[in-house]
Amino acid sequence: MALKGDLHRSPIAHRYFWERVRDAVNDFTGSSPSRFAILVFTFLILVFTLLFSLPIATNSGERAELADAFFTAVSVICVTGLATVDMASHWSLVGHIFVYIGVQIGAVGVLTLASILGLVISRRLGLRAKLIAASDSNPLRAHHGPVSESQAVRLGEVGNLLVTVALSLVVIEAGVAALLFPRMLIDGIPLWDAIWNSFYYSAMAFTNTGFTPNAEGLARFENDYWFLSILMIGVFLGAVGFPVIYALQKQLLKPRLWSLHVKLTVVTTVLLLFMGALAFIILEYNNPKTFGTLNASDTIFQSLFLSMMTRSGGFATIDIPDLNGSSLLVADMLMFIGGGSASTGGGIKVTTLAVLFLSAVAEAKGNPDMEAFGRRIPGDVSRVAVSVVLWGATIVAVSTVTLLHITKASLDYVLFDVISAFGTVGLSTGLTGDLPESGKYVLGLTMLLGRVGTVTLAAAVAASQTSKLFRRPEERPIVG
């Protein structure tokens, strides 16, 4: 009888155990989405490190070096595009499939991905799941502070946003692949290779990763402006952010109805694109290694392409070391800024730059409030923006000093590759491919910190805000 009773209680005990586990996970993710995101990113990197370490993942059939497998896993999950090996020749078809799957996971974001899976399974989202997903689309929620419902995506619209994320990933990549496919056939690429390459390039464009499936990279298409233009469109759509895509698909022809976040993202992104292109035209028009031998129209187009790719895309039609030192510095600035919030891009984000600029303008005018497009921006947003820049600059500085000590390379090359890693861009001066083992781990950590986001990182460290029952006496230090 006792045995029968034990058998009878066993399913109940198992069910109770898994319910406890589920409740514990829900409590942890709900109380600290930021720490949950970092933990899941780390777990995914470990899983893909193991996958890239398998003999079937390499063309040689031998195990990849641990440092190379780790670096590739970080670069894939963080949708960066930097590599310590020749991606086209080193990995087998299985390895490239791992890359393709990994960038899709990394592009969506672990919190959003988890919420999408929950939506698919349960057909609905509870309040806790909406809060978790919202913290991925709006980092200010990670601070558990008051967030106005006039933000880019309201809490009640999170479910629709998740559907937009899933659909945009599929539809945009399929659309880009469909536009690239006939061009590859015209260029003489075999049918099955053209199918694979078109989907591979479309994924690398929309996810802003920048890997290429062929050994020669974009050299074959460097003068194919149709091909390059489609890549630019894919990169742009991936870099503006899913909340912006969600707003545009509802109100594309009604810009007056766009939220402040959408307006700031679109305007700042377009301004940076053309200002970066203008800077590259001025600095590279007489450089025979880059644009010096091109006519005016080709120079303008290639400058626009370079400006777009230095923001987060990672594709290149020129050798980055051939750029003048001044152009490398401009590229550093663009890479550090990165893409839009909740996008596949990295960096400090374009809205952060916009808020800092508006804050400086308000201070110069003596205006106590930051204002843009007929809206007032709260002061706490400015504090978050300053924190983001400070955290980002600190990560770049520490990584640069460390790699300078390890490699003894020149500062402009080290700084370029470090900012490229932090901004998850993927462009390189060639330094990354020659890194010693310790340097690969340093740059890999830089990519991870850049991808999880400086606000997420700060919120994870702080865990939550603490309330104070008193305030210290106020005193103003001298600034400036």
Q: For 222-248, give the DSSP string.
A: TT-HHHHHHHHHHHHHHHH-HHHHHHH
The pLDDT score that the predictor gives to residue 143 is 47
**pLDDT, average across residues 471-480:** 80
Provide the pLDDT confidence category of residue 148 given band limits of 50, 70 and 90.
very low
Q: 109 φ, ψ to 5°?
A: 100, 140
Report yes or no: 470 and 101 within 8 Å, Cβ to Cβ: no
What pLDDT is attached to residue 11? 63
398-456 tens-digit pLDDT: 999 999 999 999 999 999 999 999 999 999 999 999 999 999 999 999 999 888 866 56
In a domain, 23, yes or no: no
Q: State pTM to two decimals.
A: 0.86
Query: Confidence class of residue 476 from pLDDT cuts 50, 70 and 90?
Result: confident
Is residue 463 within 8 Å of 439, Cβ to Cβ?
Answer: no
Residue type for position 194 = A
* pLDDT value of position 473: 87
With H, G, I as helix, E, B as strand and everything else as coil, classify residue 373. coil
Residue located via tokens 């209680």: 9
Helix (H, G, I), strand (E, B) or coil at 79: coil
Residue whose token pair is 């916009």:
354
pLDDT above 90 for 14: no
Name the least confident of 14-18, 308-312, 350-354. 14-18
C-alpha 409/C-alpha 402 separation (Å) is 11
Residue 77 to residues 15, 243, 431, Cα–Cα distance (Å): 33, 21, 21
Which class for 369: exposed (0-12), middle (13-18), buried (19 or more C-beta within 10 A)? exposed
Please say whether the dihedral angle defined by the alpha carbons of residues 251, 252, 254 and 259, taken in this order, is positive or negative.
positive
In a domain, 369, yes or no: yes
The torsion region of residue 346 among left (phi > 0), alpha (psi -120 to 50) and beta comes to beta
In a domain, 412, yes or no: yes
Q: Which of 154-158, 182-186, 353-357 is least confident?
A: 154-158
Taking 90 as the threshold, does the pLDDT of residue 133 lie above it? no
Q: What is the mean pLDDT of residues 180-208?
A: 92
* CA distance linking residue 448 with residue 442, whole number of Å: 10
The DSSP element (H or E) to which 370 belongs, if any, is strand 370-372
Please name every residue paired with 262 in a beta bridge, in sequence order, or none if there are none.
Answer: none
Domain that holds residue 298: 32-463
The confidence score (pLDDT) of residue 257 equals 82
Other Cβ atoms closer than 10 A to 22: 10
Q: Are 313 and 231 in contact (CB under 8 A)?
A: yes
Phi, psi (deg, nearest 5) at residue 91: -95, 145
User: Which sign, positive or negative, has the C-alpha torsion 155, 156, 159, 161?
Assistant: negative
Residue 160 lies in a domain: yes
pLDDT of res. 253: 73
3-state secondary structure of 233: helix
Tokens of 480: 């400036």
Distance CA 465, CA 435 (A): 40
More confident residue, 28 or 274: 274
pLDDT (tens digit per residue) in 195-241: 999 999 999 999 999 999 887 888 889 889 999 999 999 999 989 88
| Count, residues in the chain | 480
Q: What is the pLDDT of residue 150?
A: 41
Residue 472 lies in a domain: no
Query: Which pLDDT value is given to residue 366?
Result: 87
Q: pLDDT tier at 123 (50, 70, 90 boundaries)?
A: very low
For residues 400-417, b (16+ Cβ closer than 10 Å) or e, as one string? Answer: bebbbebbebeebbbbbb
Q: Sorting pLDDT into bands at 50, 70 and 90, what band is 46?
A: very high
pLDDT tens-digit series, residues 313-336: 899 999 999 999 999 999 999 999
Q: What local confidence, expressed as pLDDT, does residue 1 receive?
A: 45
Domain count, the chain: 1
Amino acid found at 91: W
* Mean pLDDT to the nearest integer, 38-56: 92
CB neighbour class for 333 (10 Å; exposed up to 12, middle 13-18, buried from 19): middle
Cα 280 from Cα 324, distance rounded (Å) = 10
Give the span between the Cα atoms of 355 and 385, in whole angstroms. Answer: 7
As a whole number of Å, the CA-based R_g of the chain is 23
Mean pLDDT of the chain: 83
Nearest to 437 by CA among 66, 189, 177: 66
DSSP states of 384-432: HHHHHHHHHHHHHHHHHHHHHHHH---HHHHHHHHHHHHTT----SSTG
For residue 196, being part of any structural domain is answered with: yes
